[in-house]
Amino acid sequence: MDMKESKHKDHWIAGAIKPSNKGALHRQLGVSMGKKIPEKKLDMAAKKGGVEGKRARLAKTLKKMKK
């Protein structure tokens, strides 16, 4: 495995979140950018369909990875 492949695997999340979409979930849920999204709001949004639901589910997954 060369350096390009190794680096790509280490930073796959960076490719999944585009800079133009940064903060989109905050805007959709009405939470200001400097504050954390409350767990209840995140759970409710994760149950929804569409883009908002996908973003909320990804946020929950990334939150688990951070621990």
Q: What pLDDT, in 10s, does the model give residues 7-41? A: 556 777 777 778 888 899 999 999 999 999 999 99
Per the model's pLDDT, the better-predicted residue between 54 and 9 turns out to be 54
Q: In angstroms, rounded to a whole number, what is the distance separating the alpha carbons of residues 3 and 1?
A: 7
Query: How much is the pTM?
Result: 0.74
Mean pLDDT of 57-61: 92
Task: Report d(CA 31, CA 3) in Å as an integer.
Answer: 39
